[in-house]
Structure 1
């Protein structure tokens, strides 16, 4: 379980932090929020979709076909794609909003990535934030600025009726099941836009995002292949665990009265 705490001189002044070498912390994320700045690279590696948040839509990286499973994280924690979404690249940090509506930098103290000596310091000797922490803050500021731009893009797409439900069927042990809650670009509606509307979509930056989403859907079969690989790996693990248990000698019978006697050996 994650334990995010605000980074302060009192709490972390003499501490250091390490970069994550495993992505097991993201193993339960079937979806991950994206910003428009990520689309050109993300579309080359994984499916991009939209999900509804209230009356609005936000873009997401589609990483799994069932809730609670990220198919892009291997059992040993490796990331199985050529693109890593921004929220994972900033781990173990994240931004949080205080009751005073202020943004503060937090770190997951349950991550195992805080050390006394190894890694990068949180603060310099003069008590100011270290360069690496300032770089993290700048990264979050860039993402926040682009998030606002992304929300504007999604609003334009929604305004012109270009977002529609994405029907995805998954073949599982119980037969075919429908993946609910994902949306995609309506390509037919996009192609039918009047010139004036198309110009508005293009000038807002939404046209590039729309094409990126459409092109990214080619990676959906890869998730199906990964789902099968994960299932086979889990079966192999269970078989190995079963074999390990059966290989253990049950010596309980040695305690049965009258079976063996180890007394008077001298």
Structure 2
């Protein structure tokens, strides 16, 4: 039986037709929020901010993907490239917590100068976009941004701040050389074998071996709590596999049960 490999770091963009938000183009536009997440149905993992760990660890496996400055925490949501097991056939999100990366849709910040200047953009292909005053207006009759648009900007700016803090947290983990590459083998109901790879996890033996000074710094910065939330969350990968009908050939975590505004 051939064994196939799936790389969890592979990202499928949830954004389609992205345009910068401006009053000339979007003066008459409104956004009707919809409780439908079909736009994320084919995304198997999304980035996660450090501040989200306490909530996300209850529902998802938190791992790390990428290299260098691009290394970030992600939540695993599927075992196939075009699969999100947390969105059902009705487009509903089936977990209590929805990552901020998903909640900010259809808006996103874009930059052409490595983050020095951020431009608010909108996915105009979002089904909730309209010119019939359904939902929330982006601009009022005088061309000024509405309270709704101001809140959107506030949320995305908050997200960007958390992104920078999360990058700093990951850089510290890389500096301490705490990561190891990890994979999980599982079998689909069809009998097909697959390997979930392309992610990193904290090596507990390396964590135990770090200097007391580094350990104290991690504790003081809440980094140690985030590490244990990450390790604790790995058990959710087995739950996700079971929910998909797949069977795991190995336990991806043996973390004990009592292990230790974007939220």
TM-score after normalising by structure 1: 0.80
SS in structure 1 opposite 2:87?
Answer: coil
Give the drift of 1:77. Answer: 0.6
Q: What is the aligned partner in structure 2 of residue 19 from structure 1?
A: 33
Q: What do the CA deviations read for 1:160-184 (whole angstroms, capped 9, x no partner)? A: 1211112211212354322110111
SS in structure 2 opposite 1:208?
Answer: helix
Taking the TM superposition and a 5 Å limit, the aligned residue runs for 1:91-240 are 91-98=105-112, 102-115=117-130, 116-172=132-188, 173-228=190-245
**In structure 1, how many angstroms separate the alpha carbons of the residues matched to 2:145 and 2:233?**
39
User: Which consecutive residues of structure 2, in runs of 5 or more, have no partner in the other structure?
Assistant: 1-14, 247-263
Judge which range, 21-30 or 48-57, deviates more: 48-57
**In structure 2, how many angstroms separate the alpha carbons of the residues matched to 1:54 and 1:207?**
21
**In structure 2, how many angstroms separate the alpha carbons of the residues matched to 1:99 and 1:58?**
20
Taking the TM superposition and a 5 Å limit, the aligned residue runs for 1:34-73 are 34-54=48-68, 57-73=71-87
Q: What do the CA deviations read for 1:145-172 (whole angstroms, capped 9, x no partner)? A: 1111111111111111211112211212
Residues 47 and 62 in structure 1, CA contact (< 8 A), matched pair in contact too: yes
Give the drift of 1:56. Answer: 5.0
Give the drift of 1:124. Answer: 2.1
**In structure 1, how many angstroms separate the alpha carbons of the residues matched to 2:231 and 2:112?**
38
Alpha carbons of 1:54 and 1:189: their partners in 2 closer, same or farther (altered >3 Å)?
A: closer
Which gives a bigger RCO, structure 1 or 2 (Cα 8 Å, sep 6+)?
A: 2
Alpha carbons of 1:99 and 1:214: their partners in 2 closer, same or farther (altered >3 Å)?
A: closer
SS in structure 2 opposite 1:180?
Answer: strand
**In structure 1, how many angstroms separate the alpha carbons of the residues matched to 2:191 and 2:174?**
35
Judge which range, 207-216 or 50-59, deviates more: 50-59
TM-score after normalising by structure 2: 0.81
Residues 16 and 122 in structure 1, CA contact (< 8 A), matched pair in contact too: yes
Give the drift of 1:197. Answer: 1.9
SS in structure 1 opposite 2:66?
Answer: strand
**In structure 1, how many angstroms separate the alpha carbons of the residues matched to 2:180 and 2:96?**
28
More helix by share: 1
User: Which consecutive residues of structure 1, in runs of 5 or more, have no partner in the other structure?
Assistant: 230-266
Task: Note if 1:89 corresponds to 2:103.
Answer: yes
Alpha carbons of 1:9 and 1:206: their partners in 2 closer, same or farther (altered >3 Å)?
A: same
Residues 78 and 84 in structure 2, CA contact (< 8 A), matched pair in contact too: yes
Residues 69 and 171 in structure 2, CA contact (< 8 A), matched pair in contact too: no
SS in structure 1 opposite 2:93?
Answer: coil
**In structure 1, how many angstroms separate the alpha carbons of the residues matched to 2:234 and 2:20?**
38
SS in structure 1 opposite 2:72?
Answer: strand
Question: Which of these two proteins has the greater Rg computed from alpha carbons?
Answer: 1
Residues 20 and 121 in structure 2, CA contact (< 8 A), matched pair in contact too: yes
Residues 29 and 69 in structure 1, CA contact (< 8 A), matched pair in contact too: yes
